[in-house]
Amino acid sequence: MLLLLITKQYQVIVVFIMEVVHLVIQIKEILSSEKIILGIDPGTTIMGFGLIRIVNKKMELVQLDELMLKKYSDHYTKLKLIFERTIHLIETYHPDEIAIEAPFFGKNVQSMLKLGRAQGVAMAAGLSREVPITEYSPKKIKMAITGNGNASKEQVAKMLQSEFKLKELPQNLDATDGLAAAVCHFYNSRNKTSGKSYTGWTAFVKQNGKRVK
């Protein structure tokens, strides 16, 4: 009788352990299927940010944000503010990944240098918090959102407005450009060769030796 009682108790314990293990596995699956992506559109006049949450392979808008820099004449002050805002967004929303628009090559060398610095500072903020970063060219982002690599800001914004059912668009479209980078990253997340990716300072320096000399 005693042996039978012990056997039943043992079976109950085994069943309980199996249920706990199954629950833990389910929780891990739920957590692994969710992530937050921070998209950044670098700029020294206006810098745009867009945050999305991925739940069960579906996108949810978390935040649209802009950093207005027009009133600051000192370029280094702008860089400081870009770094601080990016850190603030990381510490507030804890993104799992960052997608950033790569600077385009234009004829104005000074503008290119300033834009490159703005992008570099935002990337430095992400790397300092060990958030994986992926760069996408403007054409790549536009192609992912609209199917046209030469689409205008307005066309990109309209597609995102439809996707996220936004009642209205921000006055400046830099925030939607940041959102577009995040959405592009989500669309390309299964394609590891879609953009330049960095998981930390070591990876960045290894892939960009000329940029850090």
Active site residue 29: no
**CATH assignment of 35-211, among 3.40.1350.10, 3.30.420.10, 2.170.150.20, 3.20.20.10:** 3.30.420.10
* Every domain of the chain and the residues it spans: 1-32, 35-211
Q: Which helix H or strand E contains 39, and what residues bound it?
A: strand 34-41
Q: Which of 41, 66, 97, 177 is catalytic?
A: 41
Amino acid 113: pLDDT: 83
pLDDT tens per residue, range 18-59: 665 556 555 554 555 689 999 999 999 999 999 999 998 899
Catalytic residue chosen out of the listed positions 66, 97, 174, 177: 174
Q: What is the pLDDT of residues 95-131, one digit of tens each?
A: 999 999 987 766 667 777 888 899 999 999 999 999 9
AA identity, residue 188: N
The residue from 97, 101, 135, 177 that is catalytic is 101
- Inter-CA distances, 92 with 17, 22, 74, 83, Å: 36, 32, 27, 14
158-168 as b/e: b if 16+ CB within 10 A: bbbeeebebee
- How do residues 136-188 score in pLDDT, each as one tens digit? 999 999 999 999 999 999 999 999 999 999 999 988 899 999 999 999 999 99
174 given a catalytic annotation: yes
How much is the pLDDT for 106? 61
As a whole number of angstroms, the distance between CA 95 and CA 65 comes to 15
User: In DSSP terms, which residues pair with 64 in a beta bridge?
Assistant: 50
